[in-house]
Structure 1
Amino acid sequence: MKEIEIIVKEDGIRIDKYITDYLEDYTRNFVKKLITSKKILVNGSSIKPSYNVKSNDIIKILLPTEEMGKIEAEDKDLDIIYEDDYIAVLNKPSDLIVHPTETVRENTLVNRLLCKLDKLSDIYEPFRPGIVHRLDKDTSGLIIIAKDNDTHEKLKKLFQNREVEKHYVAIVHGKINEEITIENKIGRDVNNRTKMSVCDDGKYAKSFVKPICYNDDYSLVEVSILTGRTHQIRVHLSYLYHPVLGDKTYGIKKEKVNVARQMLHAFYLKFHHPILDKDIRLIAPLHEDYIDAIRKCNLDYECYKELVSKLED
């Protein structure tokens, strides 16, 4: 049994929905079963799935980890960009889920981490050992892994305080020839719970988009985010009518340029190491399929290399 504590920061959301949004590894039905079996308490008392959370409520969740089964280690490659005794930073490939869920137990980044790294934080076992933040399955690039719980908590605070600088590069439809700031709210799509959308009752989200190079049909852009909402960049770019090339959820159904995945890559990361007290600045090389897509779209790869060179200086 593992205990997770959540301090609520908003009002008026059903608790089963609130917890499902907070712990995205678990289905709403699973959360309802925990509530009815009194494994979820609010301020020390049992509640119903229809209970609406209030600001400063203390939710305690008892996860029956012994019933979920063991996550097996898998001996598969990891592209480690940086490593010390406390963290590892990887260049995640596309088509790789970050961690297991109730229904997915194999072929995830966590399965590989269990084999390749000697220790991982265990705050969010069994599904998320070491995982401080996430990338979508088909988004490639930099992801930070914590090796112990103290480092994990300190990294989590850096993200919460917006002290981690992370930049993405995206190939998008249409011409973007000026800097754009996108600021609105993002929440679950009312018509499709697996999708996110811009909505009035969502969570505040802010993204910054800068053109790297462009033509009439496609643009290569740099995107940085002030917040880290689920699918934020993909939703924001689609909202601007500039969806990410290859995005099967928020993009165009019939693409003129054939790609196997969404062209979104977390290429730059800067933060202050919470244990070693030094600045960390990392750049993850683009994978070959991404470079190929840039050329297929008649975009200038040299412009991207110039951007990387400036960030390295």
Structure 2
Amino acid sequence: MKEIEIIVKEDGIRIDKYITDYLEDYTRNFIKKLISSKEVLVNGIAIKPSYNVKSGDTINILLPTDEVGKILAEDKELEIIYEDDYIAVLNKPSNLIVHPTETIREGTLVNRLLFRFKNLSDLYQPFRPGIVHRLDKDTSGLIIIAKNNDTHGKLKSMFQNREIEKHYVAIVHGKVDEEVVIEKPIGRDIYNRTKMAVVEDGKYAKSILRPICYNDEYSLVEVLISTGRTHQIRVHLSSLHHPVLGDKTYGIKKEKINTNRQMLHAFYLKFNHPILDKRIELIAPLHEDYIETIKKCNLDYECYKELVLNLED
């Protein structure tokens, strides 16, 4: 068994729901079974699934570690942008889930990591060896992998303290011809719990939108995020009526230009190495399908290349 400890920072949410939102890889029924089996304690005491958490509560959860043994290594391609003894940074392709879940055990980035790397952190959840942060299945680009728990913990703190600078590039609907700062709270959609939405009682989220090039129908934009909420960029852009091209969840149902995925790519990272104390600046090349879609939208790929050159300087 592996123990996870959570310090509650909210009031009035049922504990089975609270844990499910925190441990997104597990279903609510699975969490209820853990609670019923007394594998979940609040302040050292067994509780019922209907218990409402209070700010300051300490939740201790025992998770079965044999789940890790069921995740098989897969010999498939990895595009490594940077690697040392402590971290690796990859350019993740689209149409690839980052890590396994209760029901998905094959064909994820983690399956590939287990084949390629001898050492990966196992600091938190059994389904996420090495995974410090995530990208959506259909979002491509840079993702940081930790090779040990000490490095993982330091990187996690850096993300929480906003010490890691991340830039995305997106193709969006409509004309974006000026910088926009978006500060809208994000939480679960009250009508569909599988989706996120801008909601009044959501968590603070900030995105900065900068135009790269545009026409009347589409824009190529750079997006910087100060927070890392689930689906943040996609929800924020949709709320401005500039949804990401190809986004099947928050976008337009009938697209004029067909794509096999959403046109969102994490292309730039800048941070101080948590162990080696050196500056890391990385750029992940756009994949061919992304470049072709830029051209199909009658957008200027040269403008994007100029942006990259300026960042490299």
> What's the TM-score, normalizing by structure 2?
0.98
SS in 2 for 1:265: strand
**Aligned letter for 2:56?**
N
Report the CA distance between 1:32 and its aligned residue: 1.0
Opposite residue 299 of structure 2, the aligned amino acid is: L
1:3-27: CA deviations, max 9, x gaps? 0011112222221111111111011
d(CA) in 2 for partners of 1:304 and 1:205? 26
Match of 1:73 in 2: 73
Q: Which residue of 1 aligns with 2:85?
A: 85
**Which residue is 1:141 aligned to?**
141
- Specify every segment of 5 or more residues in structure 2 that has no aligned partner in the other structure, as ranges: none
- Between stretches 189-198 and 146-155, larger displacement belongs to 189-198
Task: Output one character per residue of 1:135-191: Cα deviation in whole Å (capped at 9) or x when no partner.
Answer: 000000000000000000000000010101000000000000010011111111111
Number of the residue aligned with 1:26: 26
Partner AA of 1:166 in structure 2 = K
Aligned mates of 2:279, 2:123 — CA distance in 1: 25
| Cα distance between partner residues in 1 of 2:69 and 2:113 | 17
For residues 54-91 of structure 1, the C-alpha deviation after alignment (integer angstroms, 9 at most, x for no partner) is: 11111101002226751000000000000000000000
2:113 equivalent to 1:110: no
Tell me if structure 1 keeps the 8 A contact 2:12–2:54. Answer: yes
Tell me, in whole angstroms, the C-alpha distance in 1 between the residues paired with 2:67 and 2:147: 25
1:260 corresponding residue in structure 2: 260
Asked if the contact 1:71/1:126 (under 8 Å) is kept, the reply is: no
Work out the CA distance in 1 between the residues paired with 2:67 and 2:276: 38
* Count of paired positions: 313
Aligned to 2:247: 247
1:84 and 1:141 map into 2 onto residues whose CA distance is 19
2:306 equivalent in structure 1: 306
Q: Distance in 1 between matches of 2:139 and 2:158?
A: 22
Q: How does 1:1-313 map to 2 (within 5 A)?
A: 1-66=1-66, 70-313=70-313
Q: By how many angstroms is 1:257 displaced?
A: 0.8
Give the Å deviation of 1:121.
Answer: 0.3
User: Which AA in structure 2 matches 1:296?
Assistant: K
Equivalent AA in structure 1 for residue 45 of structure 2: S
CA distance in 2, matches of 1:108, 1:230: 19
Q: In the aligned structure 1, how far is the partner of 2:200 from the partner of 2:33?
A: 30
DSSP-derived class of the 2:20 partner: helix
Q: Distance in 2 between matches of 1:63 and 1:227?
A: 28
| Structure 1 Cα separation of the partners of residues 154 and 254 of structure 2 | 44
1:108-134 Cα offsets, whole Å, 9 max, x none, are: 000000000111001135200000000
In structure 1, C-alpha distance between the alignment counterparts of 2:15 and 2:208, rounded to whole Å: 32
What is the RMSD computed on CA atoms of the aligned residues? 0.9
2:168 aligns to what SS in structure 1? strand
Verify the 8 A CA contact 2:67 2:126 in the aligned structure 1: no
Q: Is the 8 A contact 2:68 2:127 kept in 1?
A: no
Kept after mapping to 2: 8 A contact 1:207/1:223: yes
Q: Secondary structure at the match of 2:184?
A: strand
| Structure 2 CA distance for aligned equivalents of residues 84 and 304 of structure 1 | 29
Moved over 6 A (4+): none
Q: Which moved more, 1:179-188 or 1:10-19?
A: 10-19
C-alpha deviations, 1:185-204, integer Å up to 9, x for none? Answer: 11111111111011112111
Asked if 2 retains the 8 angstrom alpha-carbon contact of 1:212 and 1:303, the reply is yes
Deviations 1:32-66 (A, max 9, x none): 11111111111101111121211111110100222
Cα 1:241–1:140 change in 2 (3 A) is same
**Which one-letter code corresponds to 1:204 in the other structure?**
Y
Give the 3-state SS of the residue equivalent to 1:168 in structure 2. strand
- The share of aligned pairs that are identical, in percent, is 81
CA distance change for structure 1 residues 149 and 31 in 2, over 3 Å: closer, same or farther? same
Q: CA–CA distance in 1 between the matches of 2:67 and 2:156? A: 27
Q: Any unmatched runs of 5+ in structure 1? A: none
Name the stretch that deviates more: 129-138 or 50-59. 50-59
Deviations 1:214-269 (A, max 9, x none): 00000000001111000000000000000000000000010001111000000000
